[in-house]
């Protein structure tokens, strides 16, 4: 886990250095991806690289070549078989601090391996708590930006209140969680907010929609209000770190008698099976 890739070299994490003039450090000027590796196989790499290309394009940066080869080399070097690739690209270092960027900077490319806890099936069956906050982040949450201060504050709000996640509402409509996308079930229908500039197009969100559809369950992409979430039969969050995380309480509102629901457990199992056979 110690070996990382930085700007053309593989080296130990403790030896890696970047300039204090890096625009990622000074302005949060960059984008990232978090990509699971299951049993030495990089999970849905093409989808992650496609989203990265889109994020780069949306911040007027060029596509970066050869990332798949570098990632695969790093996976080979790692003794572990299941972990996460953290891929971080900034606009690069500039001689002086200026909001206006030079057009000819060399991007800073950092790729490293990280561990995140995978929830056991027992924990999934028990479910997790969530809380609600206004989505006060910027209006380009579809970019996987490294400027994560809003998300950091909102995730810590959840943590400080004994919750897994903060569910975010803008103009009374659900956007996403601070680190996840959100699905609800009502009267056997599954809903998730439709994609827009207000939420990240989650790779896991997309996978779950496809897997559910293959299993004869369609997902309705629509506006979801606070009352829909509070009165939902089931709620779950999706992300690359844990594909399906059941929510059984939202603030003081108990969901499905405080137990993980049937559909959530089913989608969890379908996702686990897909991951195992990937
Ligand atoms: N975050 N929305 C937000 C705000 C997120 O930060 C994430 C994931 C998602 C889910 O996207 P995906 O299914 O592609 O992982 C949605 C990652 C895990 C992170 O920042 O660590």
Q: 107-157, pLDDT tens digit by residue?
A: 999 999 999 999 999 999 999 999 999 999 999 999 999 999 999 999 999
| pLDDT of amino acid 26 | 98
Mapped onto helix, strand or coil, the DSSP state of residue 169 is strand
State if residue 180 touches ligand 1 by the CB under 6 angstroms criterion: yes
The strand pairing partners of 134, in sequence order, are 169
Q: How many CA atoms lie within 13 A of 33 on its CB side?
A: 29
Note the CATH architecture for domain 3-114: 2-Layer Sandwich (3.30)
Sign of CA dihedral 33, 194, 178, 271: negative
**What confidence tens digit (pLDDT) does each residue in 64-86 have?**
999 999 999 999 999 999 999 99
| pLDDT of amino acid 157 | 98
Instruction: Determine which one of 144, 249, 259, 266 is catalytic.
Output: 144
| pLDDT of amino acid 38 | 97
State if residue 241 touches ligand 1 by the CB under 6 angstroms criterion: yes
Same CATH fold assignment for domains 3-114 and 121-277: no
Q: How many CA atoms lie within 13 A of 222 on its CB side?
A: 13
CATH number of 121-277: 3.20.10.10
Q: What residue segments make up the domains of the chain, in order of their start? A: 3-114, 121-277
CA dist 206 and 273 (Å) reads 16
State if residue 260 touches ligand 1 by the CB under 6 angstroms criterion: no
State if residue 181 touches ligand 1 by the CB under 6 angstroms criterion: yes
Please choose from 200, 236, 241 the residue to mutate so as to test ligand 1's pocket, defined by most ligand atoms within 8 A of CB: 200
| pLDDT of amino acid 1 | 67
| pLDDT of amino acid 255 | 98
Residues of the chain short of pLDDT 70, as ranges, are 1
Residue of 206, 267, 1, 266 whose CA lies nearest to 116: 1
Distances (CA, A) of 121 to 240, 242, 260: 16, 11, 11
Q: Which two tokens stand for residue 274?
A: 């897909």
In the residue annotation, 15 being an active-site residue is answered as no
The torsion angles phi and psi of 107, rounded to 5 degrees, stand at -65, 150
Q: Which atom of ligand 1 is nearest to the CA of 205?
A: 13
Cα(104) to ligand 1 centroid in Å equals 30
Alpha helices in 142-253 (DSSP H): 149-160, 203-214, 226-230
Nearest C-alpha to atom 2 of ligand 1 is from which residue? 180
């Amino acid at each position: 886990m110690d070996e990382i890739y930085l700007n053309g070299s593989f080296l130990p994490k403790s030896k890696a250095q970047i300039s204090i003039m890096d625009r990622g450090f000074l302005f949060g000027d960059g984008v990232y991806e978090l990509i699971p590796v299951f049993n030495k196989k990089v999970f849905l790499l093409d989808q992650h690289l496609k989203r990265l290309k889109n994020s780069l394009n949306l911040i007027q940066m060029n596509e970066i070549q050869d990332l798949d080869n570098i990632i695969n080399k790093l996976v080979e070097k790692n003794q572990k078989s299941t972990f996460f690739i953290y891929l971080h690209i900034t606009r690069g270092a500039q001689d002086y601090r200026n909001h206006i960027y030079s057009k000819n900077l060399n991007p800073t490319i950092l790729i490293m391996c990280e561990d995140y806890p995978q929830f056991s099936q027992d924990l999934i069956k028990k479910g997790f708590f969530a809380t609600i906050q206004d989505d006060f982040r910027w209006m380009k949450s579809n970019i996987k930006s490294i400027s994560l201060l809003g998300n950091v504050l909102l995730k810590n709000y959840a943590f400080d209140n004994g919750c897994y996640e903060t569910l975010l509402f803008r103009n009374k409509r659900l956007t996403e969680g601070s680190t996840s996308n959100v699905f609800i079930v009502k009267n056997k229908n599954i809903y998730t907010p439709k994609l827009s500039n207000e939420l990240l197009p989650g790779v896991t969100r997309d996978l779950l929609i496809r897997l559910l559809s293959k299993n004869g369950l369609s997902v309705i992409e629509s506006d979801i209000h606070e009352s829909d979430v509070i009165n939902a039969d089931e709620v779950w969050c999706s992300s690359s770190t844990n594909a399906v995380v059941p929510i059984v309480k939202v603030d003081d509102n108990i969901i499905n008698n405080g137990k993980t629901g049937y559909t959530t457990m089913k989608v969890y199992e379908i996702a686990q099976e897909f991951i195992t056979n990937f």
